Amino acid sequence: MIKDSEILAVKQRYEIIGNSPLLNHAIRVAMQAAPTDMTVLITGESGSGKESFSKIIHSLSTRKHGKFIAINCGAIPEGTIDSELFGHEKGSFTGAHEARKGYFEVTDGGSIFLDEIGEMPLGTQARLLRVLENGEFIKVGSSKVLKTNVRVIAATNVNLIKAVEKGKFREDLYYRLNTVPIYVPPLRERGEDVVMLFRKFTTDFSEKYKVKPISLNAEAKQLLVKFPFPGNIRQLKNLAEQISLLESEREVDAVTLSRYLPTAQPRLPVPFMGGSDGSGSGDFSEREILYKVLFDMKKDMNELKKLVLESYHSGGLNQNIIKKHQTLFEDMDSQAPFEDKPNPSPSLPLVLDSGNSKEKQDYRNDYEDDSIEDIIHEEDDNSLSIEKKEKELIIRALKKHNNKRKYAAQDLGISERTLYRKIKQYDINE
């Protein structure tokens, strides 16, 4: 029977932090299986620390003086994985300028850790099954059967049972690998272990960056324990490093911690409301900006319609196509849109669909105001009013930001280049 003191010694040796029952059980199973030569299958989510268990098994086994190699099956291309694992003969494929020993030959008498075993191609799975059953393999390009005495420790973060059902993993290989199953719990199932790990990481980073260690208050600790950590220990370590490096206050509360957690609501940009309090009492109001956008869109649309009509009159466009869509040009002339001298009449401005029915209704009410109808009563007057309003907005923006075009352009919602052109157009003295 494995004693608690022995488990503690293993934790200290491999720097495993935590006291959760699931973690202790996984370590106990690994210690019990280590002296045997049975194949072990370690399951658990990515980043949960499966490789540490493979090292525990090897170091406590009779093979501890032999070689130990860790292979990520998902990182090796399908076309070369057979050569990597079992070796190849000279000239067996293009680029094989000399014979090469595979990992199973090199680690004879030791242990090999096959991480992400679920990513292994089916053909390679058949070769691996032969090694597990008979200790035999054949190099790529050879017909000679070689022997090896290697203990296989496999790990995966996918459900191999489902992979078997989908035909992506051999059933016989699964049962051969799963002689001793070890489940490594994810961080969200380890309770207070997450606080202990966070303290360990922040202590390490405080030494690395020569700063005072980070500490969490009670509410921050509760938030940390409740967070699911889909990236497990890797994600927690990155979080600890960010806070250690970026936070000036070394005691972190829940509000501060939440800013570093992905589930915290991001700070999305909000519509410009003028005043800093969002009341619209600043130099610009939301209504003024909206009017400007609408007027610019209306002006651009009228110019586009004029261009289409001019092309039509010059014979550059198919008359049937234009007449088929002549309703688009009804606001260009009260009689007929296809006469030589169209007399544009005012058109209704476009209404922006913000997705908020109340905002749209408020805007319609504002737009139906008599003062707005006076502004757009006639197109000529409308153009002059737009230019006047636009010039006023630009002047006010420049004054607000002490003639700094970059910030004035940001307030106006235009590019700095466009602002420069408008300044020249309206002959504005900065």
Q: Which helix (H) or strand (E) is 137 found in, with range?
A: strand 136-138
Write out pLDDT tens, residues 141-161. Answer: 999 999 999 999 999 999 999
Q: Pick from 157, 185, 213: which residue ends a domain? A: 185
Alpha helices in 60-108 (DSSP H): 81-86, 103-106
| Lowest model confidence (mean pLDDT) among 64-73, 106-115, 245-254, 354-363 | 354-363
pLDDT at 11: 94
pLDDT at 262: 83
Write out pLDDT tens, residues 401-427. Answer: 888 888 888 888 888 888 888 888 888
Does the model's pTM come out above 0.95?
A: no
Q: Is residue 359 over pLDDT 80?
A: no
pLDDT at 338: 47
Residues 307 and 389 occupy one common structural domain: yes
pLDDT at 354: 41
Show contacts of 24-32: CB within 8 Å, 24+ apart: 26/53, 26/182, 26/183, 26/184, 26/185, 27/53, 27/56, 28/2, 29/180, 29/182, 30/56, 30/57, 30/60, 30/182, 31/2, 31/6, 31/7, 31/56, 31/60, 32/2
Per-residue pLDDT band at 345 (split at 50, 70, 90): very low
Q: Is residue 363 over pLDDT 50?
A: no
Q: Is residue 368 over pLDDT 60?
A: no
Q: Is residue 134 over pLDDT 60?
A: yes
Percentage of the residues of the chain whose pLDDT score is greater than 90:
52
Write out pLDDT tens, residues 199-215. Answer: 999 999 999 989 999 99
CATH number at residue 250: 1.10.8.60
Residues 366 and 406 occupy one common structural domain: yes
Residues 181 and 223 occupy one common structural domain: no
pLDDT at 255: 92
Write out pLDDT tens, residues 29-50. Answer: 999 999 999 999 999 999 999 9
pLDDT at 248: 85
CB-CB neighbours of 382 under 10 Å: 19
- Closest by CA to 55, choosing from 151, 146, 145, 121, is 151
User: What would the two tokens of residue 242 be?
Assistant: 């960010």
More confident residue, 58 or 411: 58
pLDDT at 317: 56
Are 309 and 337 in contact, with CB atoms under 8 Å apart?
yes
Residues 142 and 245 occupy one common structural domain: no
pLDDT at 10: 94
- Closest by CA to 122, choosing from 158, 163, 89, is 163
Residues 251 and 394 occupy one common structural domain: no
Using CB atoms within 10 A of its CB, is residue 260 exposed (0-12), middle (13-18) or buried (19+)?
middle
What's the structural domain count of the chain? 3
Q: Is residue 82 over pLDDT 90?
A: yes
Task: Please indicate, yes or no, if residue 267 is contained in any of the structural domains.
Answer: no
Of all residues in the chain, what percent are helix, strand and coil, respectively (each to 5)?
Answer: 50, 10, 40
Residues 45 and 155 occupy one common structural domain: yes
- Closest by CA to 61, choosing from 13, 109, 114, 106, is 109
CATH number at residue 78: 3.40.50.300
- In sequence order, the β-bridge partners of residue 151 are 111
Residues 166 and 194 occupy one common structural domain: no
Task: Please indicate, yes or no, if residue 98 is contained in any of the structural domains.
Answer: yes
Distances from the Cα of 83 to the Cα of 91, 99, 102, 257, angstroms: 12, 10, 6, 48
Write out pLDDT tens, residues 278-298. Answer: 444 444 445 556 656 666 777
Write out pLDDT tens, residues 300-328. Answer: 777 777 767 666 666 655 566 556 566 66
Residues 251 and 291 occupy one common structural domain: no
Task: Please indicate, yes or no, if residue 264 is contained in any of the structural domains.
Answer: no
Task: Please indicate, yes or no, if residue 25 is contained in any of the structural domains.
Answer: yes
DSSP type of residue 88: B
pLDDT at 387: 77
Q: Pick from 185, 215, 243: which residue ends a domain? A: 185
Task: Please indicate, yes or no, if residue 281 is contained in any of the structural domains.
Answer: no
Task: Please indicate, yes or no, if residue 272 is contained in any of the structural domains.
Answer: no
Task: Please indicate, yes or no, if residue 278 is contained in any of the structural domains.
Answer: no
Instruction: Name the residue type at position 334.
Output: S
Residues 123 and 217 occupy one common structural domain: no
The domain of 238 spans: 190-258
Task: Please indicate, yes or no, if residue 280 is contained in any of the structural domains.
Answer: no
Q: Is residue 275 over pLDDT 60?
A: no
Residues 157 and 9 occupy one common structural domain: yes
Per-residue pLDDT band at 391 (split at 50, 70, 90): confident
Per-residue pLDDT band at 384 (split at 50, 70, 90): low
More confident residue, 135 or 97: 135
Q: Pick from 168, 185, 202: which residue ends a domain? A: 185
pLDDT at 426: 82
pLDDT at 256: 92
Residues 197 and 162 occupy one common structural domain: no
pLDDT at 326: 60
Residues 332 and 220 occupy one common structural domain: no
| Lowest model confidence (mean pLDDT) among 73-77, 226-230, 243-247, 303-307 | 303-307
